[in-house]
Copies of this chain bind each other. A is one copy, B any other.
Amino acid sequence: MDILGRTTPIAIGERTKSKDKKMNSIILQQPGKIVFGINALEKLPEDELILSSEKILFLIAEPVLNLLQPIINQLISIGKIVEVITYNFPGEPTFKQFDTLLAQSVEFNPDCVIGVGGGSVLDSAKLLAAMTGNEQQYADVVGVGLLKKRMKKLICISTTSGTGSEVSPIAILLNEKTEAKSGIVSPALLADAAYIDPILTVGLPPKITAETTMDALCHCIEAYTNKFAHPAVDTYALKGIELISKNLLNAFNDGNDLEARAALALGSMYGGLCLGPVNTHGVHCLSYGLGGKFHISHGLANAILLPAVLRFNLEASPERHAEVAVAMGIANEKDNKATALKGIEKIEELSFACGIPSSLTALGIGENDLPALADIAMNVTRLLKNNPRELTREDAIGIYKTIV
């Protein structure tokens, strides 16, 4: 007898199982409240999470500190005790850097943590809300599902259209000793509320716009071509691919194009919503070492790797890769493989138009570095298992070689 009390292992399930594996159960998790759109931030001061808090800790990316000051002043004027930490570490926070932040947070002991920034800031804010006053040590929570609970209320406000961290259950720290990024994945890292206001991205320089957006595009494409792709997530992935590929160049060429900024913000949110239930695959996996060892920005590393990994994966699922291309606006070619290749070429064109280099050499990485990079990639098993085609250490080196 199965869990539903059916005494025969129902013919229904059996009959459709092979066809319908893709509709197997999946857990979709996201902040219960997402305030999305132009001027979303105006709604922040009236958020119940803030109104019900006495002490509020802001962790803010330095470039947007001034933008947030009026809101901070407003909260102080209604009697809130506010502490602001300015985040200005380059790249992902290291264990040691996070220690510094955590010490400050523990001393202030806020009721609510508000992160304002890109992925590194939001990841840090998420971990601060989780770990401040937590009996678990943060070294013990690295991995999937090890972090048991979050201690403080948490609001994430994204200032780039890329990371998706504001809606995902994931945070990344950099282990400065091993030069490897350490993923912490737990429902406890989902914010209580996310604010996604495209106005906050208007000031982003073209280079950062391009790199962060390419990261969001990777989230969508890696989810859609994922071994564990799921129809309930495909909807986000395809719409994200469409929005991003249509609007990236407009935002790159004119940072003030609010229509393009808003579309990218929505596409990036969709990319973020892919991360919890399905997540990324070989692209993000192979980029870990570029970030950890060579301190190449996350988005840039992913952007360079994306076409190379897709070319490698293509044979595993030509149809899915062709659908990605069609979502990018490519017309159907004679077969799926041809369509998919056109899509990959379009990604390369987009990158080229945005000044993203197409080779690792441009970043100072040579053939000699590839084995070490592949070793790091092979350790990212939580993403490696998602790749639609088996990807060995030799394959990884081979993929890197195509873009040296």
- Name the B residues within 8 Å of A32 (CB-CB): 29-32, 187, 190
Binary interface encoding of chain A residues 219-252 relative to chain B, with 1 for a CB under 8 A from any of its CBs, else 0: 0000000000011100110010000000000000
Q: Is A13 part of the binding interface, using a Cβ–Cβ cutoff of 8 Å?
A: yes
A71 to chain B, nearest CB (A): 6
- Name the B residues within 8 Å of A259 (CB-CB): 16, 19-20, 23
Contacts A199-B13, A259-B20; is A41 near B232 (CB within 8 Å)? Answer: no
Binary interface encoding of chain A residues 64-76 relative to chain B, with 1 for a CB under 8 A from any of its CBs, else 0: 0011011100100
B5, A23: Cβ atoms closer than 8 Å: no
Partner of A41, one of B4, B27, B28: B4
A117 to chain B, nearest CB (A): 15
Q: Copy number of this protein in the oligomer?
A: 2
Within 8 A of B (CB), among A170-227: 187, 190, 197-199, 202
Complex CA–CA separation, A275 to B4 (angstroms):
30
- Name the B residues within 8 Å of A16 (CB-CB): 257-259
Contacts A36-B232, A232-B37, A259-B16; is A27 near B4 (CB within 8 Å)? Answer: no
Contacts A5-B67, A5-B69, A256-B12; is A29 near B20 (CB within 8 Å)? Answer: no
- Name the B residues within 8 Å of A25 (CB-CB): 35-40, 42-43, 197
A23, B38: Cβ atoms closer than 8 Å: yes
Partner of A231, one of B29, B42, B266: B266
Output the nearest chain B residue to A64 by Cβ-Cβ distance: B4
Within 8 A of B (CB), among A6-32: 11-13, 15-16, 19-20, 23-32
- Name the B residues within 8 Å of A39 (CB-CB): 3, 13, 24-25
Contacts A70-B1, A70-B4, A190-B32; is A27 near B43 (CB within 8 Å)? Answer: yes
Partner of A28, one of B1, B33, B43: B33
Q: Is A34 part of the binding interface, using a Cβ–Cβ cutoff of 8 Å?
A: yes
- Name the B residues within 8 Å of A70 (CB-CB): 1, 3-5
A24, B12: Cβ atoms closer than 8 Å: no
Query: Which A residues fall within an 8 A CB radius of B?
Result: 1, 3-5, 11-13, 15-16, 19-20, 23-43, 66-67, 69-71, 74, 187, 190, 197-199, 202, 230-232, 235-236, 239, 256-259, 262-263, 266, 269-270
**Sample of 22 A–B contacts (CB below 8 Å):** A1-B70, A3-B74, A4-B67, A4-B71, A12-B202, A13-B38, A13-B199, A15-B256, A16-B258, A19-B259, A23-B37, A23-B258, A24-B37, A24-B38, A25-B40, A27-B34, A27-B35, A27-B36, A27-B43, A28-B36, A29-B32, A235-B239
